[in-house]
Amino acid sequence: MLLVAKERMVFDMENESAKQLWQNFKLQNPNVPDTYSVWAFGDSKEMADELSALVLSGLKTATCSALHGYKLENEPIPKAGDYSVILDGNGEAMGIVQNRKVTIYSFEEVPETIAYEEGEGDRTLAYWREEHEAFFRRAYAEMDWEFSPSMEIVCEQFELVYAA
């Protein structure tokens, strides 16, 4: 597992649970591409469990990460059409999502619709800002990086296309 300075923990593509779920998905959807990412939400087992459950319930259809994290880890920025296998806190595949839209905003310009689609807390922008600022401050504390309201945020809006 690689903990990137974003709102997700990235796992090796060799995760057996993810490989099996993807193979099952491909059997039913033979025209989907062979490429996908494997990751869990947040920076803890508890957060990964909570947020993957929100995806499965249909309440969470968006996520956001700091653009700076992609640059630090030399990772490609997600794009519309990308598939991801979502894991719980134990690294078990919970479902597959596909990005519908990917937009980059400054933190202070993230719209209310994103906060609502994130599905967390009371689903307001105020709650989203408070929780995400705390997350980004925590994620970068050890990297000599400072949170800023003008930092760029990658917002992914997705749909659950396959559940475990």
Q: Does pTM surpass 0.85?
A: yes
Distances (CA, A) of 142 to 53, 61, 145: 29, 30, 8
Q: How high is the pLDDT of residue 74?
A: 85
pLDDT, position 92: 95
**pLDDT reading at 5 higher than 70:** no
Residue-wise pLDDT for 39-80, tens only, equals: 999 888 999 999 999 999 999 999 999 998 888 888 889 999
- Position 2 scores a pLDDT of 35
Return the percentage of the chain with pLDDT > 70, whole number. Answer: 91
Listing DSSP states for the chain in one string gives: -EE-SSSEEE--TT-HHHHHHHHHHHHH-TTS-S--EEEEESSSHHHHHHHHHHHHHT---EEEEEHHHHHHHT-PPP-TT-EEEEE-TTS-EEEEEEEEEEEEEEGGG--HHHHHHHT-TT--HHHHHHHHHHHHHHHHGGGT----TT-EEEEEEEEEEEE-
pLDDT for 12 equals 55
User: pLDDT confidence of 139, banded at 50, 70, 90?
Assistant: confident
- Contact assessment for residue 98 and residue 83, using Cβ atoms and an 8 Å cutoff: yes
pLDDT at residue 27 greater than cutoff 60: yes
Closest CA to 11 of 46, 66, 48: 48
Instruction: Walk me through the domains of the chain, giving residue ranges and CATH numbers.
Output: 2-163 (3.10.400.10)
pLDDT level of residue 7 (50, 70, 90 thresholds): low
